[in-house]
Amino acid sequence: MKKISRRKFLQATAATAALASAAAQSPSGAILERSNRISANHWGAFYVNVRGGRMVGVTPYVKDAYPTPMLEAMADRVYAQNRIQYPMVRASYLRDGPGADPTLRGAEPFVRVSWREAFDLVAKELNRVKKEFGPPSIFAGSYGWYDAGQINNPPVLLQRMLRLHGGFVGGTGDYSTAAGQVIMPHVVGTLEVYEQQTAWPVILDNTQLIVLWGADPLLNCQIGWAPADHYAYGAIEELKKRRGRIEVVSIDPRVTDTARYLDARWIAPRPGTDTALMLGIAHALYSEKRHDQAFLDKYTVGFARFAEYLTGKSDGTPKTPEWAANISGVEASVIRNLARQMAAKRTMLMGGWAIQRQHHGEQAHWMLVTLAAMLGQIGLPGGGFGLSYHYDSGGNLTASAPGLPGITSGAASGGAAWLSKDANAIPVARVADMLLNPGQPFDFNGKRQTYPDIKLVYWAGGNPFVHHQDRNRLIQAWQKPQTVIVQDPFWTPTAKFADIVLPASTTFERDDIAQVGSYSRVRIVAMKKAVEPLYESRSDFEIFAELSRRLGFGPKFTEGRDTLGWVRFVYGEARKQAAQLKLPMPDFDTFWNGTGVVEFPIPGESRSFVRYGDFRKDPILNALGTPSGKIEIYSKTIEGFKYDDCPPHPTWLEPAERLGSEKARQYPLHLSSPHPKYRLHSQLNNTWIRRWYEVHEREPVWINPVDAEARGIRNGDVVRLFNERGQTLAGAVVTDRVRRGVVVMAEGAWYDPAEPGKVGALCKHGDVNVLTIDRGTSKLAQGNIAHTALVQLEKFGGELPEVTAFDPPKSAERG
Ligand SMILES: Nc1nc2c(c(=O)[nH]1)N[C@H]1C(S)=C(S)[C@@H](COP(=O)(O)OP(=O)(O)OC[C@H]3O[C@@H](n4cnc5c(=O)[nH]c(N)nc54)[C@H](O)[C@@H]3O)O[C@H]1N2
Ligand SMILES: Nc1nc2c(c(=O)[nH]1)N[C@H]1C(S)=C(S)[C@@H](COP(=O)(O)OP(=O)(O)OC[C@H]3O[C@@H](n4cnc5c(=O)[nH]c(N)nc54)[C@H](O)[C@@H]3O)O[C@H]1N2
Ligand SMILES: [Mo]
């Protein structure tokens, strides 16, 4: 692993930015003329450097003081050896048509076809499936982190096309915050996980204790859904200077980059036991009368019912620190002290999302809010809780800016809505369940729905053969549909498991537009085409526009605009809004042909924004969107659902797997799979940047020295991780940055089966999701539980198989 300290990284990146503002330096050090080709993607905004028609790198945007080092791999990504060069079709599918032996998916060679043939094949198949089985047999959930850009939005374009075609089944929610975004509206009346947080300057001036509860802003704020603005880095640098006054505790099974940089106090619970740990703290507060009863009375409902559970009156088990210690592995004295500290200081609980990406994950976020409510500091400057400080710099400053619209999935001329008999959209992580169980009922947030019978899957801009849990179950599920179409720039594991593969161009090969900062919205940036599309790739917009033409509704799909026409249109809409807000924005041509950037002003009051400040000032006038208008510690709505796996107040429920359980005798290590430091999920794994972290070309797995020693494993060994769901190789990184009994392997390494297409095959490369569980958080949210998994690990003794994850599949001649 490349070990650069975060501090060095911050210094280095700050220096890079300083030079970039003199318009001189690319991240790789080459001196280049500043190009005027501005662009942006999830990693941030930048200028694209091109020489002789070839992209050679990017230079961070002048106002990005903390660009991510991942930018260095952008050019390599464009020219990756595994770009999909032409439309390709699985050999027997081309020969035998839809339904051709689906067990050969992922195993067979592909045959090159012309675009014309590919378009005909896709259009004909969409028509056939619609006619024979109806629109609800087409799945277009297409979840994923396709690149930024308001126009070339693959799932939106796919759904726009299919709406005009008659309908489809979609996906709802996401893999990030599935549990949080469903439980929070019941508790605080908003999604909460994607809201602007109390601004960092308020934290820096007022907070005395920051608790990072499974949150790693330095790692995760590198990227954003809208291009990242990287504001958090400056704030955290400032926080480090104020460490004398502001205490930082990190509750996490590993020492995160943020914890290390801030020299935070490390509390390492067993994974998946956070709700119990929070209950222990709550019990200590309650029994020592350190909770804020006046706050609870005025701003919340249901505390009394919850208190009966907390004290054990309702179930006979008081949730004492000792009880919590037994479950979480954190000593009771530590729990008690933490409770006292939290109550004595201005405390901000910064919760991450891994704690809810777990079995019964709803409870963790609900309990975090309940704990904050007991502390009584919600709505005070620097106090309370925040669920987005680690994401796209939540807590950055909101600009006075119009919202930049994007192309919509509903065309102006209408078309069918998301459509199915019962379920027009399944919770995204229930995809394998859906494919395996057509016609079966499932519960979701108070509704009972039925899985549709899917015959055709179309995926554009996501990588389910990396992101979805329990790879071997997904392989089985994936054999159900008659046709699978995948559209991506690269031969991802998902593309290899398709029947028809369409080559999309990358953002660098087409025009688009984006707004930087999901929360701050500080600037609108032109995304200018820098190089011609590689090989025969086409932009998503062009692909769907042409397919729509063949399906007979081309003009309705495009509304008469080409890509640049759409860019111009959405810019114009933003400009109209800006005019109402009295914000100057140049006309489109000036913008596009000039700097390609519009900066928006940050009003002074942004610096003092306090989340829930208004609610605290006047809870009647500024009532929350919950049934009671208050924070619901007990939810009558959820009570009405009568779910055994989601009771009406925060509750500790045994997860399917955890340390300390019976199952841990067989599989004694908890597998944690956080987000990767030098990738965006699977993206960039196919660039040279993987050499920064790989061990013998495998994904690294962190293992504590004691656990390594017990297995005769040394730093740098190749190991095999396994459980009853699957097996994968990985490279051991022996480090005391991880708690005993826990191994950490980031999500996103490309699946690379030793026997392609075969259920149970050994992954040669380190796809963590061959080991995870495919099950819903609960009937309420049905989110994924990626972080709930036990494994065993051993030294790998066999001959080391060659990694083929980044090789294109074998190609065949037309048979
Ligand atoms: N074990 C475990 N699993 C997890 C998680 C975890 O914590 N642990 N986290 C989950 C979370 S939160 C998420 S968000 C998911 C992420 O899962 P995904 O969003 O599926 O992951 P990405 O690798 O970002 O996939 C994006 C895909 O879009 C493609 N793409 C990029 N640009 C374009 C384009 O312009 N056009 C087209 N057509 N395609 C494009 C990329 O090549 C890539 O294949 O993973 C989830 N899986
Ligand atoms: N560099 C980079 N940044 C990213 C992404 C990426 O792929 N790469 N992905 C983006 C996306 S789509 C998302 S959804 C967010 C994800 O944001 P999160 O879901 O918050 O991120 P994770 O990395 O899954 O986990 C955050 C921390 O939780 C810890 N953790 C894991 N299990 C537990 C537990 O049981 N208890 C406690 N207390 N802590 C635990 C992990 O060790 C990790 O340090 O990140 C975004 N940012
Ligand atoms: Mo995510």
Query: Which CATH number is 163's domain given?
Result: 3.40.50.740
347: which 2 tokens? Answer: 């405390």
Report yes or no on 359 lying in a domain. Answer: yes
Any known ligand binding at 463? yes
CA–CA distance, 474 with 36 (Å, rounded to integer): 45
CA–CA distance, 674 with 680 (Å, rounded to integer): 11
CA–CA distance, 791 with 771 (Å, rounded to integer): 7
345: which 2 tokens? Answer: 């200081």
CA–CA distance, 469 with 633 (Å, rounded to integer): 31
Report yes or no on 40 lying in a domain. Answer: no
Query: Looking at the structure, do residues 197 and 324 belong to the same domain, yes or no?
Result: yes
Report yes or no on 33 lying in a domain. Answer: no
Q: Are 251 and 354 in contact (CB under 8 A)?
A: no
Q: Are 43 and 70 in contact (CB under 8 A)?
A: yes
Main-chain phi, psi angles of 752, to 5 degrees:
-145, 80
| Angle at CA of residue 335, ends 309 and 734, nearest 5° | 120
Alpha carbon nearest to ligand 1 atom 7, residue: 674
Q: Are 296 and 306 in contact (CB under 8 A)?
A: no
Main-chain phi, psi angles of 238, to 5 degrees:
-65, -40
Main-chain phi, psi angles of 39, to 5 degrees:
-155, -175
Q: Which ligand is nearest to the Cα of residue 143, counting in written order? A: 1
CA–CA distance, 534 with 39 (Å, rounded to integer): 18
Report yes or no on 52 lying in a domain. Answer: no
Pairing of strands 669-672, 726-734: unpaired
CA of 805 to the centre of ligand 1 (A): 16
CA–CA distance, 612 with 219 (Å, rounded to integer): 27
CA of 352 to the centre of ligand 2 (A): 7
Q: How far is CA 753 from the centre of its chain?
A: 24
Any known ligand binding at 152? no
Report yes or no on 486 lying in a domain. Answer: yes
Q: Are 379 and 616 in contact (CB under 8 A)?
A: yes
pLDDT value of residue 752: 98
pLDDT value of residue 99: 97
Counting from 1 in the atom list of ligand 1, the atom nearest the Cα of 679 is 23
CA–CA distance, 737 with 257 (Å, rounded to integer): 10
Query: Looking at the structure, do residues 236 and 381 belong to the same domain, yes or no?
Result: yes
Pairing of strands 247-251, 209-213: parallel
| Total domains, the chain | 3
Query: Looking at the structure, do residues 104 and 204 belong to the same domain, yes or no?
Result: no
Candidate of 146, 218, 219, 220 to mutate for ligand 2, largest count of ligand atoms within 8 Å of Cβ: 220
Which bin fits 393, alpha (ψ -120 to 50), beta or left (φ > 0)?
left
Domain that holds residue 199: 178-398+608-641
Last residue of a domain, one of 573, 599, 625: 599
Which residue reads 């807000």 in tokens?
581
Say if ligand 1 is within 6 A of residue 533 CB.
Answer: no
Say if ligand 2 is within 6 A of residue 222 CB.
Answer: yes
| Angle at CA of residue 421, ends 420 and 424, nearest 5° | 35
pLDDT value of residue 346: 98
Q: Are 409 and 153 in contact (CB under 8 A)?
A: no
Q: Are 499 and 93 in contact (CB under 8 A)?
A: yes
- Nearest to 601, CA basis, from 401, 393, 394: 401
CA–CA distance, 707 with 721 (Å, rounded to integer): 13
CA of 193 to the centre of ligand 3 (A): 12
Provide the residue type at 686 as one letter: N
Alpha carbon nearest to ligand 2 atom 45, residue: 220
Q: Are 154 and 542 in contact (CB under 8 A)?
A: no
Any known ligand binding at 774? no
Element housing 493 (H / E): helix 493-496
Helix (H, G, I), strand (E, B), or coil: what is residue 454? coil
DSSP-assigned letter for residue 679: S
Any known ligand binding at 540? yes
Residues in the chain predicted with pLDDT less than 70, given as ranges, are 1-36, 412-423, 815
For all residues of the chain together, what is the average pLDDT?
94
Counting from 1 in the atom list of ligand 1, the atom nearest the Cα of 674 is 7
CA–CA distance, 519 with 192 (Å, rounded to integer): 13
Dihedral (CA of 734, 739, 743, 748) sign: negative
473: which 2 tokens? Answer: 């179950």
Query: Looking at the structure, do residues 197 and 277 belong to the same domain, yes or no?
Result: yes
Say if ligand 1 is within 6 A of residue 220 CB.
Answer: no
Query: Looking at the structure, do residues 96 and 204 belong to the same domain, yes or no?
Result: no
CA of 458 to the centre of ligand 2 (A): 28
Report yes or no on 348 lying in a domain. Answer: yes
Q: Which ligand is nearest to the Cα of residue 518, counting in written order? A: 2
pLDDT value of residue 414: 55
Q: Are 245 and 203 in contact (CB under 8 A)?
A: no
Query: Looking at the structure, do residues 510 and 556 belong to the same domain, yes or no?
Result: yes
Q: Are 270 and 659 in contact (CB under 8 A)?
A: yes
CA–CA distance, 632 with 645 (Å, rounded to integer): 18
CA–CA distance, 579 with 331 (Å, rounded to integer): 58
CA of 143 to the centre of ligand 1 (A): 8
CA of 681 to the centre of ligand 3 (A): 8
593: which 2 tokens? Answer: 């042909």
CA–CA distance, 373 with 636 (Å, rounded to integer): 18
Q: Are 329 and 273 in contact (CB under 8 A)?
A: yes
pLDDT value of residue 425: 86
Query: Looking at the structure, do residues 511 and 612 belong to the same domain, yes or no?
Result: no
CA–CA distance, 172 with 527 (Å, rounded to integer): 28
Which bin fits 741, alpha (ψ -120 to 50), beta or left (φ > 0)?
left
C-alpha dihedral (664, 667, 669, 672), degrees to nearest 10 = -100
Query: Looking at the structure, do residues 246 and 189 belong to the same domain, yes or no?
Result: yes
Q: For the domain that residue 690 is a member of, what is the CATH number?
A: 2.40.40.20
Query: Looking at the structure, do residues 488 and 467 belong to the same domain, yes or no?
Result: yes
Q: How far is CA 315 from CA 150, 306, 583, in A?
A: 52, 11, 58
CA–CA distance, 262 with 54 (Å, rounded to integer): 41
CA–CA distance, 416 with 128 (Å, rounded to integer): 18
Helix (H, G, I), strand (E, B), or coil: what is residue 550? helix
Query: Looking at the structure, do residues 216 and 340 belong to the same domain, yes or no?
Result: yes
Instruction: Spell out a b/e string for 276-309, using b for 16 or more CB atoms within 10 Å of the CB, else e.
Output: bbbbbbbbbbbbeebbbeebbeebbbbbeebbeb
Say if ligand 2 is within 6 A of residue 787 CB.
Answer: yes
Residue 348's DSSP bridge partners are 210, 384
Which residue reads 């009972």 in tokens?
448
| Angle at CA of residue 777, ends 772 and 781, nearest 5° | 135
Report yes or no on 55 lying in a domain. Answer: no
CA–CA distance, 361 with 354 (Å, rounded to integer): 9
Say if ligand 2 is within 6 A of residue 329 CB.
Answer: no
Query: Looking at the structure, do residues 246 and 182 belong to the same domain, yes or no?
Result: yes
pLDDT value of residue 813: 85
pLDDT value of residue 25: 40
Q: Where are the beta strands (DSSP E) in 340-424?
A: 347-351, 384-386
Provide the residue type at 703 as one letter: I
Report yes or no on 380 lying in a domain. Answer: yes
- Catalytic (active-site) positions: 143, 145
Query: Looking at the structure, do residues 169 and 182 belong to the same domain, yes or no?
Result: no
Alpha carbon nearest to ligand 1 atom 34, residue: 146
Candidate of 143, 388, 682, 771 to mutate for ligand 1, largest count of ligand atoms within 8 Å of Cβ: 682
